[in-house]
Amino acid sequence: MSIDAATTSELRAILGARLSFNEGDRAAHGREESYHRTLSPDMVGYPESTAEVAAIIRACARTATPVIPYGTGTSLEGHIAAVNGGLCLDTSRMNRVTEIRPADLDVTVQPGVTREALNKALAGHGLFFPVDPGADASLGGMAATRASGTTTVRYGSMRENVLNMEVVLADGRVIRTASRARKSSAGYDLTRLFVGSEGTLGVITELTLRVHGLPEAMSAAVCSFPALEQAVLCVASVIQLGVPVARAELLDEIYIDAVNRRSGLGLKTMSTILFEFHGSEGSVKHDAEEVAALARDFGAASVESATTQQDRNRLWRARHEAYYAGLALRPGSKGLVTDVCVPISSLARCIAETRADIEKTDLIAPILGHVGDGNFHVCFLLDPARADELEQAQAVNRRMVARAIEMGGTCSGEHGVGYGKAEFLAAEHGEALNVMAALKKTLDPQGIMNPGKMTDAALDLAHHVRGERPAEPAG
């Protein structure tokens, strides 16, 4: 779209030199870490305060100019693509840790603070923030996508760890979603409505988060299994027995090979579960023994423990870099990463049937997962120049999503919808999708907040299927 001149000059008055029309800057803000194509915004703004964000939104609302909130651009489903152009609102300059309250185990931060920056600020207090998606994402972005990570099995996702947010609405009003109380029954749960809303309902300008005390003791166990199914069944059993593991991460033998190459870890090239245990010295030892016994029952070829912090750090760094290690298996490739999450009793079957589907293609597609939550990712390593590979991967993914939904699961455990997963929302939610669209319409009647994503995209596709109107986003 072409941006109204009055809007531009109003934005210039608010942001001064922090409003950019530079082409490189625009392209960098229309591109994410996935296979989705770059769709650049018309301009990029770098606000420094809630008041600036509110003024920006009011200016954009007057001319229905799209606003796309932006954290670190590490989303995977086209979340930040400017499908209708407009203003990218980059929150990276709102990066202050406002207050750390050790006595309440909570912190208040601006949305541009990244999870690693927060953990650096917390370390001196003996505290940590557990939610850890692969990237060093911003906390505003993590809340907006309802991110989770390797410790969600124990500490929950952003859903459980956001206490309160300040949000600028689509008309410039500023609200607080809740208080700092650990629980409340006083009104509708606006916090959870905005967590996972992907910038489509408003801009998160401040977050109050739960933090946790560093455990007295930690240890890790590396369990290598001859067969992928054994590994998954072992984790299901650990969860069913209620062993309070802090992490239970699967890497298949392809990923193990990849991280061995990248990090020189020397792990057995087998399907592997990385467990971590948090607690007292005694409970950690007890949990580790219980898990080791279960792993042997399920046929583990080896169970090795890592109790020193150095060993554990190497292990988890390798795990966090697995996505990039995987891409390096095929230089120049782009990843299409799937994200289904199913009830844990169905997980082994879901993975096995998916693997069988993959084997019918000639794609390289390693699997890893937060299997303690029933969530796993297939990473298709695609040659961006070959449309046939993308088609094959999408076909496998579509079958996998249908399978997951049929098993009582979801198309997305943690990556979100953007426009990349919009095609699955109708099948997953049925009539509830129309309720979601009604909520969107209520809070953003002009459709200026991150347009073309989530319900916008899902209903466009639904109309397309029914032949009512074209699915292609404008711009």
> What residues from 103 to 162 belong to the interface with its own copies (CB under 8 A)?
103-106, 145-148, 152, 156-157, 159-160
CA distance 248 to 242: 13
- Virtual torsion, Cα 176, 437, 71, 150, nearest 10 deg: 90
Query: Residue 113 corresponds to which tokens in the numbers above?
Result: 């603070």
Choose, by CB under 8 A, the member of 100, 193, 218, 402 that binds its own copies: 193
According to the binding rule CB under 8 A, does residue 443 interact with its own copies? yes
Choose, by CB under 8 A, the member of 374, 451, 452, 473 that binds its own copies: 374
Binding mask 272-311 for its own copies (x = CB under 8 A): -------xx-xx--xx------------------------
Q: With CB under 8 A as the contact rule, which of the stretches 17-25, 265-273, 368-376, 379-387 interacts with its own copies?
A: 368-376
Instruction: For its own copies, give the closer residue by CB, 360 or 399.
Output: 399
The CA-to-CA distance between both ends of the chain, in Å, stands at: 6
Choose, by CB under 8 A, the member of 13, 22, 37, 176 that binds its own copies: 176
Choose, by CB under 8 A, the member of 3, 107, 195, 228 that binds its own copies: 195
| Greatest CA separation for the chain | 70
CA distance 155 to 161: 8
Closest distance between its own copies and the C-beta of residue 84, in Å? 21
According to the binding rule CB under 8 A, does residue 83 interact with its own copies? no
Choose, by CB under 8 A, the member of 249, 428, 456, 460 that binds its own copies: 428
Choose, by CB under 8 A, the member of 50, 65, 91, 375 that binds its own copies: 375
- Binding to its own copies, residues 455-474 (CB under 8 A): 455
Beta carbons within 8 Å of 331's beta carbon, 6+ residues apart: none
Instruction: For its own copies, give the closer residue by CB, 41 or 409.
Output: 409
CA distance 343 to 346: 6
Residue with tokens 């009104």: 187
- Beta strands 87-90 and 43-45 are parallel
Choose, by CB under 8 A, the member of 9, 38, 49, 184 that binds its own copies: 184
- Binding to its own copies, residues 40-79 (CB under 8 A): none
- Virtual torsion, Cα 457, 459, 462, 468, nearest 10 deg: -110
According to the binding rule CB under 8 A, does residue 22 interact with its own copies? no
Integer CA distances (angstroms), 424 to 63, 141, 370, in order:
32, 22, 21
Closest distance between its own copies and the C-beta of residue 79, in Å? 10
According to the binding rule CB under 8 A, does residue 219 interact with its own copies? no
Closest distance between its own copies and the C-beta of residue 253, in Å? 26
- Binding to its own copies, residues 198-217 (CB under 8 A): 201, 212-213, 215
Angle at alpha carbon of residue 12, lines to 11 and 17, rounded to 5°: 130
- Binding to its own copies, residues 239-258 (CB under 8 A): 239-242, 244
Angle at alpha carbon of residue 339, lines to 335 and 345, rounded to 5°: 140
Given a contact cutoff of 8 angstroms between Cβ atoms, the answer to whether 4 and 63 are in contact is yes
Instruction: For its own copies, give the closer residue by CB, 22 or 442.
Output: 442
Choose, by CB under 8 A, the member of 102, 299, 447, 475 that binds its own copies: 102
According to the binding rule CB under 8 A, does residue 348 interact with its own copies? no
Closest distance between its own copies and the C-beta of residue 33, in Å? 16
Instruction: For its own copies, give the closer residue by CB, 189 or 359.
Output: 189
With CB under 8 A as the rule, give the number of residues binding its own copies.
95
Closest distance between its own copies and the C-beta of residue 239, in Å? 7
Q: In terms of C-beta distances under 8 Å and separation of at least 24 residues, what long-range contacts does 259-266 make, across chains too?
A: 259/318, 259/319, 259/321, 259/322, 259/325, 261/325, 261/328, 261/329, 262/318, 262/321, 262/324, 262/325, 262/328, 263/314, 263/317, 263/318, 263/321, 263/325, 265/314, 265/315, 265/318
Closest distance between its own copies and the C-beta of residue 431, in Å? 5
CA distance 267 to 306: 12
- Binding to its own copies, residues 392-421 (CB under 8 A): 404-405, 408-417, 421
